[in-house]
Structure 1
Amino acid sequence: MQHLDETTRTELEAAAFRRLLDHLDAHKDVQNIDLMILADFCRNCLSKWLVAAAEERGAELDYESAREYVYGMPYAEWKAKYQQEATPEQQAAFAARQARKQENGNA
């Protein structure tokens, strides 16, 4: 992608991000804890990254607005409709991942 000008690269990155959000929206059955276990990020992380990016650029974006954008609806509504209680197996897998991160100094 080095051959692309910055504007084109930014537009492609933005399009890929929007497609990721569409993909996550189409797969609401994939729980945030599953994403955290497998990829060490979730929908809430994306929201926090948006807020951080806004802050870096001097733009105003609060966390709840970012979450509504990422989730496609208010977080409380998404949580009530789609979020399931984490199973003991998911909790154990998440704890193991966190422990590995601690061991590797990636906390």
Structure 2
Amino acid sequence: MRDRKHVERKNSMISTISIIILFALILLIVNFFTGFISLKIQGLPMIMPFYFCPIGALLGFISYRKYKDKPSLVGIVCNIVLYFFPILFNIIAVSLYGV
């Protein structure tokens, strides 16, 4: 019984890291658009999903492959969607407002 709880805790840790990466990137992107907190990283929040979302999706995939739980599946799907957000944002912004 004790080993099972240890495995579940490890599973939730991997899934949690995947979701933390997702929320951190979302907060940075929302701050980029709203300017609520003045940061000197300019356009970096729109580039960061290209580097960190694959890591989050990979962690979610590893967790899902071992344990088949819902948080890891949410981490996979949301990280993949967030990966494509900057691309879609740039396409829509250029289409509507030009260069």
With the shorter chain as reference, the TM-score category is: 0.3 to 0.5
Higher helix share: 2
TM-score (norm 1): 0.38
Ranked by relative contact order (alpha carbons within 8 Å, sequence separation 6 or more), the top structure is: 2
TM-score (norm 2): 0.40
